[in-house]
Amino acid sequence: MSARGVGVGAVIAIPVLIVGGLLAMILLLFGPSAQAACGPAAVVNVDQVPEGPIAGYSGEQLRNAAHIMNAASALGLQRDAQVLGVMTAMGESSLRVLDYGDEAGPDSRGLFQQRDSWGTLEERMDPTISATKFFTVLMAVADWQTLEPTIAAHRVQRNADPYHYEAFYAPAGEIVAVLAGGDMAGCQSGPLVFPLATEPMYQFTSGYGFRGYVMDGISDWHNAVDMQHWPNPCDDPIYAITNGTVTYAEGYQIGIKHPDGYTIWYVHMYPEDMFVSVGDVVTPGQEIALVGTNGPSTGCHLHLGVEVVGTTNEAVAALPRSETIGGPIGYVNPEEFYRLFGLELCPADTCRRTY
């Protein structure tokens, strides 16, 4: 671990970035340099699960999600597995213990619609046992952590449509986040997570937009937001906020391009504190680097930028762009970007702004 800078109200320059052509992009995979998959799985007190609704699910459905999460935790799996299990049960039974099947599987029963070959009727109708059976088979799937979640689930369930579960990934992430009680570090809800741990909450040291003269070599127009933990900001883990492919990783910058064409920039790390390389495919919450003060910087902090040139996501493309308000071409306010996902990047009640 390195501690090369001081954590005073840090400000940064706008990086000049030249990125080559698009690399192959695969949704929600771990790259070769993957660290932990969003941290350890939370154990949920089933008796204290809220009634909801959460992501459209409530009551018994949420208690069943808790049983699934606990089954994953008991097997030593991490939060990505919890989300995958909840996602699969959503797609199979809408998180209900069904005592009937369908035309394709008339003997299918339970949360995961498991057939006779999976075990006795009593076992398949038990949320914990059925979930444990699901995860046991999942763990035997080769490289399951490097597959798209829907493909990994498909290889366990052997259903007709391998992409059937895809629509349930985001709501499953939301449920897991809420039931985990907010103890998610870099893994918050849905398809977007926070770049630094939120317990304790980080602070903002510089906002997006025009900010005036800071120092020689630093632009007066800030195309990102700066954040840090105080008073010990150096060497904090930095988490990928969404999935994508690493298109730039050198100097003091990492760029990760999402399948929808926008690029998330993480800036001011030291090369030896970068854990990904160009071509790696990362997943939300994956640790990619440590906070530093490399490059034009006044102290340890993370500069987080969102470049949207070439995005195919209509909602992202509709955000006000930096060039329309006097800034460089192609960036949007990261706080507005987060709001598209129902998240506040710097909540007023917990995140202090020092500028």
**pLDDT tens digits for 199-234?**
889 999 999 999 877 667 677 899 999 999 999 999
Distance CA 339, CA 324 (A): 20
**Residues 123 and 161 placed together within one structural domain of the fold:** yes
With bands split at pLDDT 50, 70 and 90, how would you rate the model's confidence at 18? very low
**Residues 323 and 225 placed together within one structural domain of the fold:** yes
Number of domains in the chain: 2
More confident residue, 14 or 66: 66
Distance CA 163, CA 284 (A): 19
Question: At how many degrees (to 10) do helices 127-140 and 149-157 cross?
Answer: 110
pLDDT of residue 181: 66
Percent of the chain with pLDDT over 90: 57
pLDDT of residue 349: 87
Q: Which of 148, 179, 210 is the last residue of a domain?
A: 179
pLDDT tens, residue by residue, 259-307: 889 999 999 999 999 999 999 988 888 899 999 999 999 899 999 999 9
1-5, 20-24, 204-208, 259-263: segment of lowest average pLDDT: 20-24
Distance CA 225, CA 102 (A): 51
Percent of the chain with pLDDT over 70: 85
Domain residues for the domain of 78 are 46-179
**Residues 207 and 321 placed together within one structural domain of the fold:** yes
**Residues 229 and 279 placed together within one structural domain of the fold:** yes
Mean pLDDT of 118-130: 94
pLDDT of residue 274: 98
CATH code for the domain in which residue 333 is found: 2.70.70.10
More confident residue, 10 or 336: 336
**Residues 106 and 172 placed together within one structural domain of the fold:** yes
The residue whose two tokens read 């997006």 is 208
